[in-house]
Amino acid sequence: MIEFLPSPKATVSPGQPRLLQKGFFVKFTNEWPDTLPYVKGKFFQIARTNQVNHDLSYILPSGNYRDVDFSNQVGGVNLYPENTKSLFEVALGFKKDNYQVQFYIPAGEFVNRLEQAGMVPNVASATLKYLGAFKPEDSPYEDKRILLYFLKDLEPLIARTFVDTGCDFAKVVFGLTINKCYLEEMKTPTADQLARARTVLYYSEMRW
């Protein structure tokens, strides 16, 4: 449900589209919870798509952070679908400034952490503030490399946005392309279709 696409080592021709397209296949693992029965363990073909661009911006003081909640709950920025047949694939990029982003889902649970005890992101720690952090150069506004997958009633994904020391204020700009995908379930996909499908992992599968 969160994917980071590093710079390619080689290019292929013809190019592969980064975002899901009409006709593409998507499968959800059995790790998706029972509270999301409309996708858990299911296989879909994308019937149609629609791309919606959006920007979010915040000016924050140095040494401070703001939690940006992508969900539709109170205080969120309302980027989650309301339809159980919608999958929102969100490409996220950042304009340059002196800040970084760490992801949590749900609130308080880090997406990116290491295995040694205590090796978790912590913006209050001089040694851990860069752990698990994405900086603007990792996913530039013009070349978005972070992909997020949102479904109706998924737990809130939080982007902890921290302005590092060394400046007075920073302007945080998130560039978003919301690729709205309308899902049609396929009960009996072929082996070829299964092999070609993009697998959307539940966040618990990214933490072990």
| Closest to other proteins by CB, 42 or 129 | 129
Confirm or reject binding of residue 143 to other proteins (CB under 8 A): no
Per CB under 8 A, contacts with other proteins among 40-99 are: 55, 57-61, 63-67, 95-97
Smallest distance from other proteins to CB 126, Å: 10
Smallest distance from other proteins to CB 169, Å: 6
| Closest to other proteins by CB, 175 or 189 | 175
User: Distance between CA 171 and CA 99 in Å, rounded?
Assistant: 8
Residue pair 83/180 in contact (Cβ under 8 Å)? The answer is no
| Closest to other proteins by CB, 58 or 182 | 58
Residue 96 falls in which region: left (phi positive, over 0), alpha (psi -120 to 50) or beta: beta
| Closest to other proteins by CB, 18 or 171 | 171
Confirm or reject binding of residue 124 to other proteins (CB under 8 A): yes
Q: Which stretch binds other proteins (CB under 8 A): 79-87, 106-114, 167-175, 197-205?
A: 167-175
User: Distance between CA 48 and CA 180 in Å, rounded?
Assistant: 8
Smallest distance from other proteins to CB 189, Å: 41
> How many C-beta atoms lie closer than 10 Å to residue 71's C-beta?
20
User: Distance between CA 164 and CA 186 in Å, rounded?
Assistant: 47
Confirm or reject binding of residue 171 to other proteins (CB under 8 A): yes
- Beta strands 198-200 and 25-28 are parallel
Number of residues that bind other proteins (CB under 8 A): 24
Smallest distance from other proteins to CB 132, Å: 15
Confirm or reject binding of residue 107 to other proteins (CB under 8 A): no
Residue pair 170/95 in contact (Cβ under 8 Å)? The answer is no
Confirm or reject binding of residue 162 to other proteins (CB under 8 A): yes
Q: Distances in Å between the alpha carbon of 75 and those of 33, 54, 138?
A: 24, 17, 27
User: Distance between CA 68 and CA 52 in Å, rounded?
Assistant: 19
User: Distance between CA 18 and CA 180 in Å, rounded?
Assistant: 14
Binding site for other proteins (CB under 8 A): 55, 57-61, 63-67, 95-97, 123-124, 129, 162, 168-171, 173, 175
